[in-house]
Amino acid sequence: MKAIEVLRARTVVLPGSNIDTDQIIPARFLTTTTREGLGRSLFADWRYDGQGALLPDFVLNRPEAQGCRVLVAGRNFGCGSSREHAPWALLDYGIQAVISTEIADIFRSNSLKNGFLPVVVDETTSSWLIANPGAEVTIDVASTTLTLPTGVSVKFPLEAFSRYCLLNGVDELGFLLDRRGDIEAYEQRRHS
Amino acid sequence: MAPAPQTMLEKVWRLHEVSSETADTPAVLYIDLHLIHEVTSPQAFAVLRERGLPVRRTDLTLATMDHSTPTRTEQIFGGAPITIDSAAKQVRELEINCAQFGVELLGLRHSQRGIVHIIGPELGITQPGKTVVCGDSHTSTHGALGALAFGIGTTEVGHVLATQCLLQRKPRTFALSVSGRLRPGVTAKDLILAIIGKIGVGGGTGHVIEYRGETIRGLDMDERMTVCNMSIEAGARAGMIAPDETTYEYLAGRPRAPQGDAWERAVEEWRKLPTDAGAVFDRQVDMDASVLEPMITYGTNPGMVIPISAAIPTRDNDAVFAKSLAYMGLEAGAPIKDQPVNVVFLGSCTNGRISDLRSAASVLRGRKVAKGVQMLVIPGSQQVKKEAEAEGLDRVFIDAGAEWRESGCSMCLGMNGDLVPKGQYSVSTSNRNFEGRQGVGARTLLASPLTAAASAVRGRVTDPRELLV
Ligand code: SF4
C-alpha cells in the first residue's frame, strides 16, 4: 500500500443513499481472479446502456466529472456484499476517497486496507458538498480534517491504527506476521 | 467482588483475544473457523504466493464453491462445461489453490458441497463460542449457533490464511428483544424483514445484534439462521443468538461436532456463553412479533418493506425513493398484493434449508405453479437436496411445475447463469433486492418461502394465509 498524507481533489456527487456494493460493481464482474482492470466495471449498470455505450447523463460520464478523485455520496454508502472488488474498482477508476454521513462497516474496513479514504462528515458538511459538485476539497490524513474551498474545516473519524497505516503505507499483514510469537503462545494457552 | 456481568459478545471476544486493543492498536483476534469460497479468495492466495507464506492452520480452514457454480445437474455431474468461462476459471483456481496450500475443499461434485453458510452449521463445524469468518457478508448466519461470525474482505481473507488472526476493534452491542408469538403463516423471514424495516438498513452499523426474548427462544435452528443471516441487511456485521437446548439438539451427532466425552465438555463450556443477567448493551430495541403479518419488499433495499396487505408508501420530494420505485415499475400508494409475478426463486443462504423447502412444499402440494411463471427451487446444499428427495419434496416441486436443481447461490445473485430477465418481477426468498442483484434490470420482491410459493401458485403477489387452510 502506498503512503497517503493529503488528498487534494475535486468532487463528483452521487447523492443517493444506501448505494450498495452491487451497484458499485455488479456480481457478474466478480468472476475474476485478479484485482486489476475493475475500473471498467465501476457502476456498470448506471454508466453504460444495454449495448455497453456510456450514458452521457450519468454523473461520472459528464465532462466536468473527469479527473474528480473524491466521490460525495448519500448515507450508508457501500452497504451490502463484502466484496473488496468495490474499493478496488473505485481506485482503479481513479477515485480515492468517498465522503458520506455514514459508511457501511465492511466497505470501510476494505477501503482502509487499500488506501481508499472513507470520510464520514456531519449533515451540514454533506449537504454543502452535495449542493456544490466539483468543489476542490482537501483531505488531510495526518490531522484527520476535511477542508472545503470555503475554508471551513471539519474533523473526520479515523482510528489511530488506520491513520498510522495510511500515513506510513504499512499493510496490516506485516504487522500481524510480526505477532507470530503472541499467536503461538495463544494457541498453546488454548490447547493446554 | 463478583465479576461484572458480560454480554455474550464480550465473552466470545475475550476468549479470542491474542492481545487486547489499546488506544493505538486494535485487538489481535484469533479465528477458529475460516470458510473460503471461489469468488473472494483468489486474490488472497495470490498474496500468500507473492510473499511465500503457507496457510497457518489448514485444519481450521474449509473451502467450498457456491457463488459462480452452475445449478444444472448436467454441468455438475454430467460433464457439460460451465458456460461462463471466467466462472469456470474461478472454480479451477480454487481447486488449484486448495491443492497447493493443503486446504480441504468440498468441491463441485462433493456430497457435502453447498452454500458456505448452509454447510457450516449442517456439518456441525460451526459451534457456539467460535469465531467464524468468511469472505462473505452473510457469514452473520453462523451467529444463530452462538458463534461470533462476520464477513470480511479479501485482504482480511489473506490475513486469516497467513496468521489465523484479524486486527479488530470490538463492535458495540445491540440487544434486539422479541416477544409474542408469530401468527400462523408468519415466519422467521417475515420477522427479520420487519426488524430491518424498523431499524433501517444502516440501523445496526458498528454493532453486533444479539437477538433475544421468548420469540427467539421458540425458533428452531433453521429459523434462527434466517434471522441472523439478514443482520447484515440491517447494517450489523454479525447477529448472535444464545445457545440453548435447541442448539445442542441440532448439533449433536453432526459429522464435525465433538463426540463422546468431548461433546459433554463442549456443552459445559457452551452453557457459560449466554449474556449474564444485568449485562448492559449499547443499544436496545424491543419488538412485538404477535402483530406481524407476512412481509414483502417493494423497493431496492431490504428496508423498503411492508406488510403484504399494505399499500406502497408515498414519500413526496424524495428523489431517491422515486428512482427506486421507477426501477421497480411500482407506484406509490398502490397495493403490493396482486402484483403480477414472472419468476419465483426459492433458495439461498437465507431460506434454502430443509424446513424452508418443507414450508414451500406445504403450499405447493397438489397445486400448480401458475402459467407463465418460472419457479426455481435450489436446495442450499447437496445434503439438503438429498434430505428433500428422501422426503419426496422434489416430487412436490416438480409436479407443481417448478425446476429442481443442484445446490448453490443460483438466482440470489447474477453471476452463475441463473438470472431474472430484465424488467421481470421475481418473488425471491433471498436477502437482497438491490438493483440488478438477480440480473440486469431484474425487479426483486423479497419474501418468505410461504409467500413465494403462494405467489407462484397464483402468479401474483399472494398472502400465503389465503392458501393455508
Ligand atoms: S446465497 Fe446469496 S447471499 Fe447467500 S452466500 Fe450465496 S450469494 Fe451470498
pLDDT digits (tens, 9 = 90+) for B439-463: 999 999 999 999 999 999 999 999 9
pLDDT value for A1: 82
pLDDT digits (tens, 9 = 90+) for B227-246: 999 999 999 999 999 999 99
Which residues does chain B have within 8 Å of residue A31's beta carbon, measured at their own beta carbons?
Answer: 39, 68, 84, 86-87, 89-90, 415
pLDDT digits (tens, 9 = 90+) for B198-231: 999 999 999 999 999 999 999 999 999 999 999 9
List CB contacts of A83: < 8 A, sequence separation 6 or more: A21, A25, A30, B39, B40, B153
Rounded Cα distance between B251 and B124, Å, is 6
Task: Tell whether ligand 1 has an atom less than 6 A from the beta carbon of residue B138.
Answer: yes
Given CA atoms B6, B9, B11, B17 in this order, what sign does their dihedral have? negative
Provide DSSP, B54-100: --TTGGGEEEE--SS----HHHHTS-PPPSSHHHHHHHHHHHHHHHH
pLDDT value for A153: 98
What is residue B310's three-state secondary structure?
A: coil
List CB contacts of B309: < 8 A, sequence separation 6 or more: B293, B335, B337, B463
Share of chain B above pLDDT 70, in %: 100
* Average pLDDT value for residue range A167-182: 94
B positions 298-357 inside 8 Å of A (CB): 301, 303, 319-320, 323
pLDDT value for B113: 98
Q: Look up the pTM and report it.
A: 0.96
Q: Are the C-beta atoms of A146 and A153 separated by less than 8 Å?
A: yes
Strand order across the beta sheet in which B27-30 lies: B17-19, B27-30, B165-168
pLDDT value for B3: 82
* Average pLDDT value for residue range A152-171: 96
pLDDT value for B222: 98
What is residue A141's three-state secondary structure?
A: coil
pLDDT value for B272: 98
pLDDT tier for residue B1 given thresholds of 50, 70 and 90: low
Main-chain dihedrals φ then ψ at residue A100, nearest 5 degrees: -155, 170
Task: Tell whether ligand 1 has an atom less than 6 A from the beta carbon of residue B134.
Answer: no
Provide DSSP, A47-110: HB-TTS-B-TTSGGGSGGGTT--EEEE-SSBTBS---THHHHHHHHHT--EEEES-B-HHHHHH
pLDDT digits (tens, 9 = 90+) for B79-111: 899 999 999 999 999 999 999 999 999 999 999
Residue type, B18: V
What is residue A178's three-state secondary structure?
A: coil
Main-chain dihedrals φ then ψ at residue B106, nearest 5 degrees: -90, 90
pLDDT digits (tens, 9 = 90+) for A7-29: 999 999 998 999 999 999 999 99
pLDDT tier for residue A2 given thresholds of 50, 70 and 90: confident
Catalogue all structural domains in chain A, each as residue range(s) with its CATH number.
6-191 (3.20.19.10)
Cell numbers at B408, concatenated: 448453490
Task: Tell whether ligand 1 has an atom less than 6 A from the beta carbon of residue B409.
Answer: yes
Catalogue all structural domains in chain B, each as residue range(s) with its CATH number.
8-168 (3.30.499.10), 172-250+268-290 (3.40.1060.10), 295-466 (3.30.499.10)
Residue of chain B whose Cα is closest to the Cα of A164: B24
* Average pLDDT value for residue range B310-326: 95
pLDDT digits (tens, 9 = 90+) for A98-134: 999 999 999 999 999 999 999 999 999 999 999 999 9
Rounded Cα distance between B295 and B76, Å, is 35
Which residues does chain A have within 8 Å of residue B164's beta carbon, measured at their own beta carbons?
Answer: 183
Q: Are the C-beta atoms of A6 and A141 separated by less than 8 Å?
A: yes
Nearest to B65 by CA among B116, B134, B104, B16: B116
The single residue listed with the C-alpha cell 436446495 is B379
* Average pLDDT value for residue range B308-315: 98
Using the mean position of ligand 1's atoms as its centre, give its distance from the Cα of residue B32 in Å.
22
Residue type, B304: M
Share of chain A above pLDDT 70, in %: 99
Cell numbers at B41, concatenated: 479468495
Rounded Cα distance between B290 and B190, Å, is 12
> What number of CA atoms fall less than 13 Å from residue A188's CA on the CB side?
6
Ligand 1 atom with the shortest distance to the CA of B431 = 3
DSSP B200: -
Segment holding B152, helix H or strand E: none
Rounded Cα distance between B275 and B256, Å, is 26
Task: Compute the radius of gyration of chain A from its Cα atoms.
Answer: 18
Nearest to B281 by CA among B209, B368, B378: B209
Selected residue of A43, A173, A178, A179 to mutate for chain B interface (largest B Cβ count, 10 A): A173
Q: What angle do CA B319, B321, B324 make, to 5 degrees?
A: 110
pLDDT digits (tens, 9 = 90+) for B146-179: 999 999 999 999 999 999 999 999 999 999 999 9
pLDDT digits (tens, 9 = 90+) for B409-438: 999 999 999 999 999 999 999 999 999 999
pLDDT digits (tens, 9 = 90+) for B9-58: 999 999 999 999 999 999 999 999 999 999 999 999 999 999 999 999 99
Q: Which protein residue's CA is at the shortest distance from atom 2 of ligand 1?
A: B412
Given CA atoms A135, A141, A145, A150 in this order, what sign does their dihedral have? negative
Rounded Cα distance between B246 and B251, Å, is 9
Q: Are the C-beta atoms of B36 and B135 separated by less than 8 Å?
A: yes
Using the mean position of ligand 1's atoms as its centre, give its distance from the Cα of residue B118 in Å.
10
The single residue listed with the C-alpha cell 468543489 is A135
What is residue B440's three-state secondary structure?
A: coil
